[in-house]
Structure 1
Amino acid sequence: MAEREVEASVIVPFFRAAATLQGCLEALVRQDTDVAYEIIAVDNVSDDASGDLAREMMRAHPDLLRVVTEETPGSYSARNAGLTAARGRLVLFTDADCRPAPSWMSSMVVELRDDLVLMVGGEVVADPEQRSLVARYSAREEVLSQSHTLRHPRGPFIQTANLGVRLADARAVDGFDATLFSGGDADFCWRLRRLRPAGALRLVGAAIVQHVHRETLWDLYRQYRRYGQSDVLLAKKHGASLPHTLVKLGVDFLRVVCSPILALLLAPFALVKRDVVVMLSPLLRAVRVLGRRRGQVQALLLPGRLHRA
């Protein structure tokens, strides 16, 4: 039987994603669109139930969903495996902890059909059902908003949580740098922009994905530790100045030391608003700062010990 022709391929890497993967895949199979598309879920050798979950959904949607395996650790290795398997001329990326809106597919593809457009993306918003303190703080701070990446000092980029490109362009730059465990989306987008300097970067208002934020302080710390590692690795790879100075480190030290005092000062406002996140935001901000600085130091002094966690 001949394979069904598709215009777009959606690539979803996953690793230990049993808690969120089903919601992501269900959102993708229920897209409100006339676009012919496929979903490629890439199992990065998960040791939880997520692999079985993905294959069960594949059996339920055999014409729409495929599951491939990538044994090399790292989400960028997994995305490259997805690029190898993709059959659509357009490629959309999202993550296993994201749920694309019903209009996501159509909105992204319409923009990518414009030959002047190099890459497209949409906003990444918080899952409104999350109630943990850390998740509510991340939502308040809009920690994964594309507005941050579009203002990057080295040049704008779009996060792989919500990114669309042409397959030919992605293959022309040899896909993602699989040596990176974070920041690979920035590196990928910057190389695409060198490939087609005149190509437009377009943010699509209707192409929204909901993201399941970290729930614990430890996970928030690890998230920002990875960001710190990528700060250094990207600076080295792209010839930029390293993202730390004595002044900045001093400011961050004061921020961490003063965070309990700020929390106490904000307590009256938190009581008025009945929102403990307001009071504890300085402490949570300190966790982010500590994680990021730890990651930067680790990447500088112990680059051989970086890993996906």
Structure 2
Amino acid sequence: MNDARHPLPRLPVLPAPPWPRQRPRVSFIVCTRDRATVLEACIDSIRAACRAHPTFAAELVVVDNGSRDGTAEYLSRIAAASDLLLTTIREPRPGLATARNAGLARARGRVLVFVDDDCRLDRNYLVDLERHYASGDKWLIRGGRVEIGDARDLPFTIKRCDKRERLTPAVHPGGFVLGCNMTMHRDVAALIGPFDERFGAGGALRSA
């Protein structure tokens, strides 16, 4: 139960921005801190997925959570020439949940996709995303497969199940949906509210 003396932050109510061409159907939200070397590969994979499915209007929101390794300069350099609508945000308050909330506040897509900065999307990601949302069932949070991209990664950072599963009381929730590959409709995010900023990398409790 939340401590009533310290209410969780609420997402700001933003005025409707002028949509470029058309409102994005999907917003990719990537939060990063001092990982410019892997961020570039992540962004390249998102752009490749969008090129492979050009009819799917998409945007990329990158939240720089206080980087000091040249991330800001890299993002500034690619923003002007990007073939994908790119919004960069500086969020100096540390913490993954804080950064994700900043991304949520600026994302304009109907579907929100959270991708970690050290992950690379499959080229057919949007085709698969469209197939899942074609069911019309938007009142849920979806997670996808996560394969090892670096042999030095630990096994618990992946999720290799290739069968559709639904969370039930009989299933342990830990690791059921990995935050590095997580998607939800924006109405679901509005209903649930922001990420609890006490949790996650950079927070008081560094996981969950």
TM range (shorter): 0.7 to 0.9
Q: C-alpha separation between the residues in 2 aligned to 1:165 and 1:101?
A: 18
Quote the sequence identity (%): 27
Which of 39, 54, 60 matches 2:60? 39
1:162 and 2:178 aligned: no
- Deviation string, structure 1 residues 118-146 (Cα, Å, up to 9, x no partner): 1222211112xx46xxx17x3xxx32223
Which of 124, 139, 152 matches 1:103? 124
Highest CA radius of gyration, 1 or 2? Answer: 1
Check conservation: 2:147, 2:159, Cα contact below 8 A.
no
Check conservation: 1:8, 1:92, Cα contact below 8 A.
yes
- Deviation string, structure 1 residues 13-61 (Cα, Å, up to 9, x no partner): 0001112000000111111113110000111111111221122221221
The structure-2 alpha-carbon separation of the partners of 1:26 and 1:63, relative to structure 1 and needing over 3 Å to count, comes to: closer
Equivalent position of 1:11 in the other structure: 29
Check conservation: 1:90, 1:109, Cα contact below 8 A.
no
Higher relative contact order (CA 8 A, sep 6+): 2
1:125 and 2:144 aligned: no
Equivalent position of 1:116 in the other structure: 137
- Determine which structure has the larger helix proportion and give its number: 1
Q: C-alpha separation between the residues in 1 aligned to 2:19 and 2:61?
A: 18
Q: C-alpha separation between the residues in 1 aligned to 2:26 and 2:32?
A: 19
Q: C-alpha separation between the residues in 2 aligned to 1:16 and 1:171?
A: 29
TM-score normalised by L of structure 1: 0.52
Q: C-alpha separation between the residues in 1 aligned to 2:178 and 2:193?
A: 18
Q: C-alpha separation between the residues in 2 aligned to 1:103 and 1:114?
A: 18
1:144 and 2:157 aligned: yes
Equivalent position of 1:194 in the other structure: none
Q: C-alpha separation between the residues in 2 aligned to 1:229 and 1:83?
A: 20
Q: How many residues align?
A: 179
Which of 68, 77, 87 matches 2:108? 87
SS in 1 for 2:59: strand
Q: Deviation of residue 112 (structure 1)? A: 2.4
Q: Which runs of 5+ in 1 are unaligned?
A: 185-225, 235-309
Runs of 4+, deviation exceeding 6 Å: none
The one-letter code sitting in structure 2 at the alignment partner of 1:125 is: E
